[in-house]
Amino acid sequence: MILDQFKLQGRVALVTGSGRGLGQATALALAEAGADIASLDLSLPQETVARVEAVGRRCLPIACDLGQASPADLVAVVDQVVAELGRIDILINNAGIIRRQSAVEFSQANWDDVLAINLDAVFWLSQAAGRVMLEQGSGKIVNIASMLSFQGGVVVPSYAATKHAVAGVTKALANEWAGRGVNVNAIAPGYMATDNTAPLRADSGREASISERIPAGRWGVPEDLAGPMVFLCSAAADYVHGAILTVDGGWLNR
């Protein structure tokens, strides 16, 4: 039956930035589909652990500062997941930050900090998880891209640079790993009501201009990613490689 292909029983998923927002919604969606979860955030994501366990799945909390983590540190994270949960089948590279400053004033810290989390950690964690997945001949990696994987944005040059790069890394890894049983794809959310967009939603002018352009007539919420995420992590997407799936209420159509 086709619906059986969407089930994730027996799978283990590592979700970064899963203490709140899009990451927490993703962890819950995968748990509801049957996966056990390794929930990684800057501090131990106890609320996510409780919510995952409430649906009957195991949840391993991991505290890790991705902005400071070395490639070796991220290998150790993957090793911990395998040691404590038995395997790793799914990696969701969700964690990300944004810094807003005009390009002519943009600081080195605002550049380096965003690249460390949004790009460097994505690649090194994908590499670490990918080694395990390639060895077992199966795995799913889903990166979080953005509308700014396609557009330049305003006063967010480091964020736009990383999200363009995430799309490129997604395609590059898919080219290398598709024939070995590992799917690498990305989801590009539209304007979502999360902490990252709080400054935009607090600016009545920007909020109105954004809302007017969304054909769906509303900002997205974290739960809007649940279905697409489960799909890309499931057997139903076994022939999907290197895709950047937009979940944007139609934003790019305008």
Residues forming the active site: 159
Phi and psi of 134, rounded to 5°?
-65, -35
Rounded CA separation 40/14 (Å) = 7
Q: Which of 96, 128, 101 lies closest to 115 in space, CA to CA?
A: 96
| DSSP one-letter string for 188-214 | EE-SB-SGGGHHHHHSHHHHHHHHHH-
Q: Which residues contact 104 (CB under 8 A, 6 or more apart)?
A: none
Rounded CA separation 186/243 (Å) = 6
Check if the beta carbon of residue 9 is closer than 8 Å to that of residue 32.
no
* Structure token digits, residue 15: 């979700």
